[in-house]
Structure 1
């Protein structure tokens, strides 16, 4: 009886170790890269897509005056339109960041008609020194026009997104 029980325990331990090893193997597999980031300003939501399939969504904070498209530097608005990721910064002031291709030629023209500078350096970024706010950072739009997520979420997004990824920002 003791020998049977010992055999069962040993086999159970071996099986559990094998399962853990398989899970770790799956975690180390390369993740599919995201091919579209869709930001819905009104819903305060950013969704990542791979091959036209929704991969993951995040709650976001926007510029401190988010209604309408960004018109000029300092207006606190988050741009609207189609952009792309142009640069990945692993040591941003706001933890990590993904730079958007804002301003486009159309953004420049709109600002020029108003006699203004369109601004620049619009990013998807983490919280930086505000990391303690965690998921509560979405209770108030606080950026200068960027899109903010928690540092933990930014780790995941940073890993899944490459330079050149399309970014669509809807009102």
Structure 2
């Protein structure tokens, strides 16, 4: 076979193999998620449809898990009412859903203290960093809420932008 025919055939075989690989993007046809509740002290995240819990996951938190996030770099996970405000399909942590921290109260407090409130708080998978740290240290993020990669795939499919996230101490 000529070299000119081998390259297109090899490219087609590679494309076919890639299309057979499992996707990290799942579909969800269950009841709508109307609220996410994170109970930091229990390291648990609940997904509610109305008043019914439809899913629950164990989580890892910021590397300083006690207390409300106040400043950039404090390692704390925020507490209070926030919303899912963005999603990142190309996250370094497999997939991620953004949480609307800081809200105006968080920003005002930090600025009054001459500090940066921080940001980029997500519900995310482990990704390579988590696979290295999570088996040894449960709370390893910079303030995010972490679940296993297979779990964030389910969560990413279940949750819509605008979903309220209540984070309790």
Larger Cα-atom Rg: 1
CA deviations 1:96-125 (Å, max 9, x no partner) are 000001100000011112210000100000
Cα shift at 1:140: 2.3
Count of residue correspondences: 143
Does the CA-based 8 Å contact 2:28-2:157 persist in structure 1?
no
Does the CA-based 8 Å contact 2:28-2:158 persist in structure 1?
no
Alignment-derived partner of residue 82 in structure 1 = 81
Distance 1:112 1:46, change over 3 A: same
**Partners of 2:35 and 2:48 in 1: how far apart?**
5
Equivalent residue of 2:90, what SS?
A: strand
For structure 2, list consecutive stretches of 5 or more residues without a partner in the other structure: 1-26
CA deviations 1:70-104 (Å, max 9, x no partner) are 01000000000000000111110100000001100
Alignment-derived partner of residue 60 in structure 1 = 59
Alignment-derived partner of residue 168 in structure 2 = 170
**Partners of 1:36 and 1:138 in 2: how far apart?**
30
Equivalent residue of 1:91, what SS?
A: coil
For structure 1, list consecutive stretches of 5 or more residues without a partner in the other structure: 1-27
Which structure has more helix as a fraction of its residues?
Answer: 1
CA deviations 1:120-149 (Å, max 9, x no partner) are 100000011146469x54842100000000
Alignment-derived partner of residue 47 in structure 2 = 48
- Give TM-score, length-normalised by structure 1: 0.78
- Give TM-score, length-normalised by structure 2: 0.79
* 1:150 aligned to which of 130, 148, 151: 148
Cα shift at 1:159: 0.6
